[in-house]
Amino acid sequence: MNYWLFKSEPFKFSFDMLKEKGKAGTQWDGVRNYAARNNMKAMQIGDLGFFYHSNDGLNIVGIAEVCALAHHDTTTDDPRWECVDIRAVRDVPTPPTLADIKANPKLSEMALVRLGRLSVQPVTPEEWKEVCRMGGLNPAP
């Protein structure tokens, strides 16, 4: 299993909105960055990701699961852009803030700290465990 982080501005698409999509989930569309697109192309069904509220909140609020492999992003006619589908798995009981993450030396190399603008990021298994611990979650899937 691989781990990821999905960033979204909550006023555009929040974790609550993802939860409303139910078990079917929704496509993670609108990404127009090659690195983020390539991250999605590397995803497998069942991979887990943190759902991060950017701009407003600046915290990891939920866990999402990849439920469909990379496919054409239906929000564009350009064949270069692909996306995966994700669904909500659970809320994070104590959402770690960006400040909390930056203050944790175990997370100093996390993409969220180093590549703040990338909307879809990889998360290492060690980072996954530490952020889950900070958020009050068991890191096991």
For 9, half-sphere exposure in the C-beta direction (CA atoms, 13 angstrom radius) is 6
Both tokens assigned to 10: 């909550």
**Distance, CA of 44 to CA of 130 (rounded, Å):** 22
Report residue 91 CA to chain centroid gap.
Answer: 13
Written as tens digits, the pLDDT of the chain (141 aa) is 999 999 999 999 999 999 999 999 999 999 999 999 999 999 999 999 999 999 989 999 999 999 999 999 999 999 999 999 999 999 999 999 999 999 999 999 999 999 878 999 999 999 999 999 999 998 776
Residue-range domain boundaries for the chain? 3-135
Question: CATH 3.30.200.20: does it fit domain 3-135?
Answer: no
125 C-beta neighbours (distance < 10 Å), count: 11
- The single-letter code of the amino acid at 36 is A
The helix (run of H) or strand (run of E) holding residue 113 is helix 111-114
Return the SS3 of 59. Answer: strand
**Distance, CA of 76 to CA of 97 (rounded, Å):** 33
pLDDT of the residue at 141? 60
Q: What is the pLDDT of residues 71-97, one digit of tens each?
A: 999 999 999 999 999 999 999 999 999
Is 100:108 a contact under the CB 8 Å cutoff?
no
For 75, half-sphere exposure in the C-beta direction (CA atoms, 13 angstrom radius) is 11
